[in-house]
Amino acid sequence: MESVWKAVADDSRREILMLLRKRKMTPSEMTEHFHFTAPALSSHLRILKSADLVTEEKLGKNRYYSLNEKKSLEIVNFFEKMWGYNLNSLKEYVENKERKKGT
């Protein structure tokens, strides 16, 4: 199991995640959007899969990749813990802090 942090640290992999946001997709389709080669893409997908950020679905000779929304919470939770605040209110918290500085 690969670290979810290492997985999202790479620019290309975040692009892939953003691309998958709209719909599940095969590697062939993805390569049309990127500059890198099929094996490079495959390598990135393996890392994302191993980090449990995407799931794979075999359909005939195609493989569809889709986002695993649940996993993103692991990262969000880190920030929750880090700030000791419920994320529900994190944004407001920061914004209020900024507003205080301003006055």
Partner DNA sequence: CAAACAATTAAATAATTGTTTAATTATTGT
Partner DNA sequence: ACAATAATTAAACAATTATTTAATTGTTTG
Residue 88 interacts with a copy of itself (CB under 8 A): yes or no: yes
- Helix then strand then coil, in percent of the chain rounded to 5, is 65, 15, 25
Output the furthest CA–CA distance in the chain (Å, rounded).
Answer: 63
Q: 40 vs 87, which CB is nearer to DNA?
A: 40
Residue 40 interacts with a copy of itself (CB under 8 A): yes or no: no
Q: 38 vs 93, which CB is nearer to a copy of itself?
A: 93
Minimum separation from the CB atom of position 60 to DNA (A): 3
Left (φ > 0), alpha (ψ -120 to 50) or beta: where does 57 sit? beta
Residue 23 burial (C-beta neighbours within 10 Å; 0-12, 13-18, 19+):
exposed
How many residues of this chain bind a copy of itself (CB under 8 A)? Answer: 32
Q: Which residues contact a copy of itself (rule: CB under 8 A)?
A: 3, 5-6, 8-11, 14, 17-18, 21, 67, 69-70, 72-73, 75-76, 78-79, 81-84, 87-88, 90-91, 93-94, 97-98
